[in-house]
Amino acid sequence: MPSAVSTWRRTAHVAVLLLALLTALALGHGTAHAAETCDPDAETACLGGALRTSAGEPADGVVLTITGPGEPIEVTTGEDGRWSVGVGESGDYTVELDVESLPAGEQLRDPAVNPRTVTVTLGASAGVLFPLGGAVAPPADGATSEPSTPGTPAPGGDGEGDVAPETASAEGASTGDRVAQLVVSGLLFGLLLALASVGLSLIYGTTGLSNFAHGEQVTLGALIAYFLVQSAGVPLVLAGALAVLVGLASGYLQDRALWAPLRKRNVGLTQQMIVSIGLAMALQYTFNLLAGGGSLRIVTSTPRMVELGPVLLTEQSAVSMLIAVLTLGGVAYFLVGTRTGRAARAVADNAALASASGIDVVRIVRLVWTMGAGLAALGGVLIGLYFSATRWNMGTAILLLMFAAVTLGGLGTAFGALAGSIVIGLVVELSTLVLPSDMRYAAALLILIVVLLVRPQGILGRPDRVG
């Protein structure tokens, strides 16, 4: 009996810990701050950030001046080192930090980035970061680095207000710190991309179909979460869970109403692929009609930052990474450690042989469609939080990256899709060290071409899967 009580207590402790981590995604921004917070709306855009000393403590009382359209604004960091200010016009704003107001013994890590210029649009937030610490050595040729607008435009966005905070924080850091920042950002983006890519790979493995409408499942999850949070006032964690349920239901209904009848009538894979393209276009413009063509923020408050040595992450991104790791770990266990998962792998290897062995192929394929759509919806929610914005065509914008990850890892293999997604995520972020930010996706696709020239079956694929 004592052992049973002990087991129950350990289980309860783990459950409480997981609940706290998930709740932080929605409630972390609700902590009281010394400084006034800003929430963007149709008539307001927000600028904000957080300052921490080289020891990781909040930098209180630092003065920043914001100039741009309208009158100059002066703001001071609060006791938690955070600052936030609202502006009433879209445009370019210059943020200058008063170095005289820094705590004793502190200095900018790279004085060349002060002041910084950032472009904001109404209804969106932009982060402006000034890392503190040891000064960065000037370039060998004596050139002065120009301040640049922080942030990575979200897929499908126009680059205004759609900021990935992790990439933004790498600006102004030393080369080593920036590489560390980009590696973490690449791993995070790769994990989120894998949530969508694994389902796409499983669908291909079990049916042979390249589903061009899979990107719309990603968009669906993000838009459902947006409408639940912003229109219905649902807490973010609950909204994310409901978005995943809607994604699961959509995958089940798609297979039951569309794909299963097409397979039953022996419609060829080429014709099915064309149907998926038509379905993708219909869903895209339905989303455009319902959500509009602008950027939509699932959470409008400025995210809190977590500093891990030279790496700076938002709390949302840190929790998103944990959720992605746990989810992908669960999928891996399902495929390897459960009877149904092994049946799904058998169908992917040889559907006819699996059917002859007594496996219900129809049931397995429907399960794969349902699970793949649910994973894509979860990926859409987390990617929307990572890029701080979502749009009606977000899934379409990353669809090529999803196909690249699936092909790079090995067609039809879930673990290959995970490996390919990690590679794509790292290449996308690290390529910005030598290429303009606008070229980062092109670099990932170039790596795909090079790898396939050397190993056509992909990283974990088998030679007989190609051709």
- On whether residue 159 sits in a domain, the answer given is no
Is residue 70 domain-shared with residue 194, that is, in the same domain?
Answer: no
Q: Which amino acid, 343? A: A
Look at residue 18 in the predicted model and tell me its pLDDT: 43
- On whether residue 111 sits in a domain, the answer given is yes
60 vs 240, more confident: 240
Domain boundary residue, one of 79, 111, 135: 135
Mean pLDDT taken over the chain: 81
Domain boundary residue, one of 101, 135, 169: 135
Look at residue 170 in the predicted model and tell me its pLDDT: 39
- On whether residue 2 sits in a domain, the answer given is no
Is residue 268 domain-shared with residue 355, that is, in the same domain?
Answer: yes
**According to the per-residue pLDDT averaged within each range, which of 10-24, 54-68, 289-303, 407-421 is highest?**
407-421
Look at residue 81 in the predicted model and tell me its pLDDT: 84
β-bridge mates for residue 210, sequence order: none
| Structure-token match 């680095």, residue found | 145
Look at residue 36 in the predicted model and tell me its pLDDT: 61
Instruction: Give long-range contacts, CB 8 A cutoff, 24+ apart: 443-450.
Output: 444/401, 444/404, 445/400, 445/404, 447/408, 447/423, 448/404, 448/407, 448/408, 448/424
Is residue 130 domain-shared with residue 188, that is, in the same domain?
Answer: no
96 backbone dihedrals φ, ψ, rounded to 5°:
-120, 130
- Average pLDDT in the 362-383 region? 96
- Average pLDDT in the 233-254 region? 96
Beta strands 45-50 and 125-127 are: parallel
Look at residue 464 in the predicted model and tell me its pLDDT: 56
What is the SS3 string spanning the chain? CHHHHHHHHHHHHHHHHHHHHHHHHHHHHHCCCCCCCCCCECCEEEEEEECECCCCCECCCCEEEEECCCCCEEEECCCCCEEEEEECCCEEEEEEECHHHCCCCCCECCHHHCCEEEEECCCCEEECCCCECCCCCCCCCCCCCCCCCCCCCCCCCCCCCCCCHHHHHHCCCCHHHHHHHHHHHHHHHHHHHHHHHHHHHHHHHHHCCCCCCHHHHHHHHHHHHHHHHHCCCCCHHHHHHHHHHHHHHHHHHHHHHHHHHHHHCCCCHHHHHHHHHHHHHHHHHHHHHHHCCCCECCCCCCCCEEEECCEEEEHHHHHHHHHHHHHHHHHHHHHHHCHHHHHHHHHHHCHHHHHHCCCCHHHHHHHHHHHHHHHHHHHHHHHHHHCCCECCCHHHHHHHHHHHHHHHHCCCCHHHHHHHHHHHHHHHHHHHHCCCHHHHHHHHHHHHHHHHHHCCCCCCCCHHHCC
Contact between 467 and 422 (Cβ < 8 Å): no
- On whether residue 152 sits in a domain, the answer given is no
Look at residue 17 in the predicted model and tell me its pLDDT: 45
Is residue 47 domain-shared with residue 118, that is, in the same domain?
Answer: yes
Look at residue 360 in the predicted model and tell me its pLDDT: 94
Is residue 121 domain-shared with residue 261, that is, in the same domain?
Answer: no
Is residue 126 domain-shared with residue 191, that is, in the same domain?
Answer: no
CA dihedral 166, 170, 176, 177 (to 10 degrees): -70
Look at residue 463 in the predicted model and tell me its pLDDT: 64
Look at residue 461 in the predicted model and tell me its pLDDT: 72
Please state which of the ranges 38-52, 221-235, 360-374 shows the lowest mean pLDDT: 38-52
Contact between 58 and 355 (Cβ < 8 Å): no
167 vs 230, more confident: 230
Is residue 131 domain-shared with residue 223, that is, in the same domain?
Answer: no
Look at residue 252 in the predicted model and tell me its pLDDT: 97
Tens of pLDDT, residues 250-297: 999 999 999 999 999 999 999 999 999 999 999 999 999 999 888 888
Tell me: pLDDT of 417 over 80: yes
Is residue 64 domain-shared with residue 191, that is, in the same domain?
Answer: no
Q: How many domains, the chain?
A: 2
Is residue 226 domain-shared with residue 349, that is, in the same domain?
Answer: yes
Percent of the chain with pLDDT over 90: 41
Is residue 393 domain-shared with residue 295, that is, in the same domain?
Answer: yes
Q: Considering only CA atoms, which of 421, 412, 415 is closest in space to residue 444? A: 421
The CATH number assigned to the domain holding 73 equals 2.60.40.10
178 vs 423, more confident: 423
Look at residue 312 in the predicted model and tell me its pLDDT: 83
Look at residue 467 in the predicted model and tell me its pLDDT: 41
Structure tokens at 346: 């058998």
Q: Residues 6 or more apart from 170 whose CB is under 8 A from it?
A: 177, 178, 181, 182, 185
Contact between 443 and 430 (Cβ < 8 Å): no
Domain boundary residue, one of 135, 150, 168: 135
344 vs 160, more confident: 344
Tell me: pLDDT of 144 over 70: no
**Using CA atoms, how far apart are residues 105 and 150, in angstroms rounded to an integer?**
26
Is residue 217 domain-shared with residue 97, that is, in the same domain?
Answer: no
- pTM for the model: 0.68
**Using CA atoms, how far apart are residues 225 and 21, in angstroms rounded to an integer?**
19
Q: Please, which pLDDT band fits residue 24 given cuts at 50, 70 and 90? A: very low
Contact between 207 and 431 (Cβ < 8 Å): no
Look at residue 425 in the predicted model and tell me its pLDDT: 92
Please state which of the ranges 5-9, 98-102, 213-217, 449-453 shows the lowest mean pLDDT: 5-9
* Domain region containing 459: 182-465
- Average pLDDT in the 131-158 region? 45
Tens of pLDDT, residues 55-71: 777 888 899 999 888 78
392 vs 109, more confident: 392
Percent of the chain with pLDDT over 70: 82
Look at residue 268 in the predicted model and tell me its pLDDT: 94
Is residue 65 domain-shared with residue 192, that is, in the same domain?
Answer: no
- On whether residue 384 sits in a domain, the answer given is yes
Look at residue 440 in the predicted model and tell me its pLDDT: 80
436 vs 32, more confident: 436
The CATH number assigned to the domain holding 305 equals 1.10.3470
- On whether residue 87 sits in a domain, the answer given is yes
Radius of gyration of the chain (CA): 24
- On whether residue 415 sits in a domain, the answer given is yes
Look at residue 137 in the predicted model and tell me its pLDDT: 40
Look at residue 426 in the predicted model and tell me its pLDDT: 92
Look at residue 465 in the predicted model and tell me its pLDDT: 47
Q: Please, which pLDDT band fits residue 372 given cuts at 50, 70 and 90? A: very high
81 conformational bin, left if phi > 0, alpha if psi -120 to 50, beta if neither: left
| Structure-token match 């699961």, residue found | 248
| Structure-token match 């992605």, residue found | 324
**According to the per-residue pLDDT averaged within each range, which of 19-28, 45-54, 159-168, 275-284 is highest?**
275-284
The count of C-alpha atoms lying within 13 angstroms of the C-alpha of 162, restricted to the half-sphere facing its C-beta, is: 19
- On whether residue 18 sits in a domain, the answer given is no
Q: Which amino acid, 33? A: H
